[in-house]
Each structure stands twice: as C-alpha cells, then as structure tokens.
Structure 1
Amino acid sequence: MLQILRLCLIGLHFLVAAVINFLICLVRPFNPDNSRLCGWVYSAPALRILGLSMKLDTADMLRQPNPFVVVANHQSNWDLWVLGCSVPRRTVSLGKKSLKWVPFFGQIYWLAGNILIDRGNAFKAKQAMLKTTDVMLHQDTSIWVFPEGTRNLGKGLLPFKKGAFQMAINAGVPIVPLVCSNYKSTMRLNRWHSGRIVIKTLAPIPTAGMTLEDMPALMERCREQMLACLAELDAQIAQA
C-alpha cells in the first residue's frame, strides 16, 4: 500500500516539478546552470516522498573549477530522482536527440541547455561532439556523461564507451568520476525508510597532454577506480 501511494505521489510530483522547471527554462532558456536547478527540483522532494536517505560526498567535484567531464554510473530511470541533487553548477549532459520529444521531460531537457546527439547520423553526431569541446572551453561549462551508454540495472558497471574520454582529451580537461551506490536492488518502497544512498566523487583525473592513444588506459583507470568505489559504498550501506 505504501509503495502504491508513493508511486502516485511521485507521478504528481513529476507533473508539478515539470511545470516549475519549464518556467525556469522559459525565463532563461539554454542557460547551462538550468540543469542544476531543474535537477534539484526533481530530486529533493522526490527523495522525501520515496523515503530515501541521501549522503552526498562530492567535495572533490565542488572544489573543481569548470570545465571538466563528469562520468557517472547509470542504474535506472530512477536516476532522475536520485542523481538530480548532485549536478554541479553550469553542467549540461549529453542525450539522445529522441529525448526532445518525450512529453514534459524532453522539452525541459532541451531548454535546460543539454546537448542532443543524433546517434543515427554520423556527421551530426560528430558535430555535436565538437560542440561539447567549444562549450567546455569557451562557456565555463562542464559535461555530464553516463559512459556505459545505457542503464546497468544495478549490476555493477557495464563496459565504458569512448565518447566521454575522447571529449576530455580533446579539450584537455579533467575527468571527475561520480559513483552512486547500488540502490536498484536494495530500494524497498513498501517500507517507511526505503533505503540509503551514497553518492561520492573521486579525485579529478587530469588529461592535459594526453592523446587519443592514451584513451584506453584512461578508460580502464577510471573504470577501475569507480568499481572499487562502488564496492566500498555498497559495503558501507550493508554494514549500516
């Protein structure tokens, strides 16, 4: 019963948050700080509705001046509610062009200044990737990427794709790994306290002076650090 009530309230909250965020984006369309504000509007009330306790250990990221590339693990569609509170200032993300047509969310995502990629068109996809370099270097803006490319459903980390690391090397900006503890298989919405989540960022990994030949080692280094951190966070929660 509690789970059903929470899901109904989340649906209502989604509509109310969409209206608020749409107004934010209409007042300041394509402002790169919209994602931070919209993420907070989506996330902060939702965590209370869902009965989730959140610990943010993101000091390394908050101290890091723009621009940089955030690489985060992607568990499920619940990430909108879970990760929204951790978006740093002036940070946009990469998303599929088709997201633009998702009712309510898609229009806000576009107006928030996020970068849409047409993955079915190689030329347009390349142009979008070049745009990210310009955005980072000349607009005091960072980029948020899910390097797995799809949801891992709480099963560790899927293999990483190259895009985030290629962007960071081309722009010569650091990578900031962000790890969210496994909530997909531990969240219990039928309990009053439905779960505990920890989000932690690791020390920035510099890319200055690297070339694309260094990319495989960079990807492996980042993934190994995130896997170790994920295991550590999950162990902390299991012992609590």
Structure 2
Amino acid sequence: MLFVFRMLLMGLHFFVAGVLGVLLGLCRPFNPDNSRLCARLYAWPAMCILRLRLKAEMGPLLKQSQPCVIVANHQSNYDLFIFGNVVPPRTVCIGKKSLKWVPLFGQLFWLAGNVLIDRGNAQKARQSMLTTTDTLQHRDTSIWVFPEGTRNLGEDLLPFKKGAFQMAIAAGVPIVPVCVSSYIKHMQLNRWRGGKIMIRSLPAIPTDGLSLDDIPLLMSQCHAQMQACIDSMDQQLQAA
C-alpha cells in the first residue's frame, strides 16, 4: 500500500517538477545552469517521498576548477532523482534524441541546454560530438555522460562506450568518475525508510597529451576504478 501511495505522489511530483522546469527553461532558454536547477527540482522532493537517505562524498568534483567530462554508472530511471542531488553548476547531459518526446521532461531537457544524440544516425552523432567539444572548450560547461549507454540494473558495470572518452581527449579536459552504490537492488519502497545510498566522486583523470589511440587504456582504467569504488560503497552500506 505504501508503495502505491508513493508512486502516486511521485507521478504528481514528476508532473509539477516538469511544469516548473519548462517555465524555467522558457524564462532563460539553454542556460547551462538550468540542468542543475531542474535536477534539484526533481531530486529533493523525490528523496523525501521515497525516504531515501543519501551520503554524498563529492570532494574531487567540487574542487574541479575547469570543465570536465563526468562519467557515472547508470542503474535505473531513479538515477534522475539520485544524481540530481549532486549535479554541479554549469553541467549539461547527453541523452537519446527520443527523450524529446517525453511530455514535459523532454521539453525541459532540451531547454536546459542538454545534448540530444541520434544514435541511429552516425553523421548526426558525429556532429553532436563536435558540439560537445566546443561546449567543453569555450563555454565553461561540463558534460555528464553515462558511458554504459544503458541501465545495468544494479549489477556489475557494463562495458563502456567510447564517446565520453573521445570528447574528453578532443577537448583536452579531465574525466571525473562519479559512482553511486548499487541502490536499485536494496531499495524498499514499501517500507517507511526506503534505503541508504552512497555517491562518491573519484579523482580527476587527466587527458593532456593523450590521443585517440589511448582510449582503450583510458576506458579500462576508468572502468576498473569505478567498479572498485562501487564495490567498496556496497560493502560499507552492508556493514552499517
């Protein structure tokens, strides 16, 4: 019963946050800080509704003084509410072009200055990558990417796609991994306390001097660090 009540509240919240986000986007369209503000609109009320307790250790990301490519693990649609708590200023996200058809959220996502990629069209995808390089180099804006490309449902990290790493090397900016614990397997939304979640950012991985030939090693390094971090957080939460 509690789960059903929460889902009804979440549906209402999603609609209200979408309306407010679209209004914000219309008032200042494509402002790169719209993403952070809209993320908070979705995240803060959702955390109260779901009664999720979040511990965030974001030191390396908060200390980042230049634009970067942020890579994070992707578990479920709840990521919007979880990661929304920690999106830094002037950060946009890369998403599938099909998102624009989601009522309110799709329009909000577009007006927030996020990048929509048509994965089925190689030429348009390459053009989008050029756009992101310009964003990183000249607009003082970071880009948030889910390098797995799809949800892993709380299991081990899926293989990474190379787009995020190509962007970082092309723009000469660091990569900052952000990891969330395997929350999707432990959420208990039919109980008063929905569960505990940890988010941790890892030290930036520089890309200065790297070429496209270095991408496989860079991807492997980032993947290994993130998996180790997720495993460590899961163990901490189990022991608590």
Common topology (TM > 0.5): yes
Specify the alignment match of 1:49 in structure 2: 49
Distance 1:82 1:58 in 2: 14
Matches within 5 A, 1:1-240: 1-240=1-240
Structure 1 spans left out of the alignment, 5+ residues: none
Identity %: 61
- Between the aligned partners of 2:38 and 2:174, the Cα distance in structure 1 is 25
Query: Aligned letter for 1:185?
Result: K
CA distance in 2, matches of 1:109, 1:66: 23
Following TM superposition, by how much is the alpha carbon of 1:66 offset from its aligned partner in structure 2, in angstroms? 2.8
For 1:68 and 1:127, locate their aligned partners in 2 and report how far apart those are by CA, in whole Å: 19
Q: Distance in 2 between matches of 1:139 and 1:66?
A: 11
What do residues 207-227 of structure 1 show as CA deviations (whole Å, max 9, x unaligned)?
A: 011001111110000000000
Give the deviation of 1:20 after TM superposition. 1.2
Q: Deviations over 1:111-143 (max 9, x none)?
A: 000011111111111000010000110000000
Q: When the two structures are superposed, what TM-score results if normalisation uses the length of structure 1? A: 0.99
Please tell me the residue identity of whatever aligns with 1:73. Answer: N
Q: Within 2, Cα distance between the matches of 1:17 and 1:105?
A: 9
The alignment partner of 1:85 has SS state of coil
Residue 148 of structure 2: SS of its match in structure 1?
coil
AA in 1 matched with 2:18: A
Amino acid at match of 1:10: M
The Cα of 1:90 is off from its aligned counterpart by 0.4
Q: Which amino acid aligns with 1:42?
A: Y
Matching residue's letter, 2:116: L
1:147-170 Cα offsets, whole Å, 9 max, x none, are 000000111200000000010011
**In the TM superposition, what whole-angstrom CA distance separates every residue of 1:147-203 from its partner, at most 9, and x where no partner exists?**
000000111200000000010011110000000001111000011111000110000
> What amino acid sits opposite 2:60 in the alignment?
D
Stretches of structure 2 lacking an aligned partner (at least 5 in a row): none
Equivalents in 2 of 1:112, 1:173: separation in Å?
22
Structure 1's consecutive aligned runs of 4 or more residues displaced over 3 angstroms after TM superposition are none
Moved more, 138-147 or 17-26: 17-26
Provide the secondary structure at the position in 1 that maps to 2:85: helix
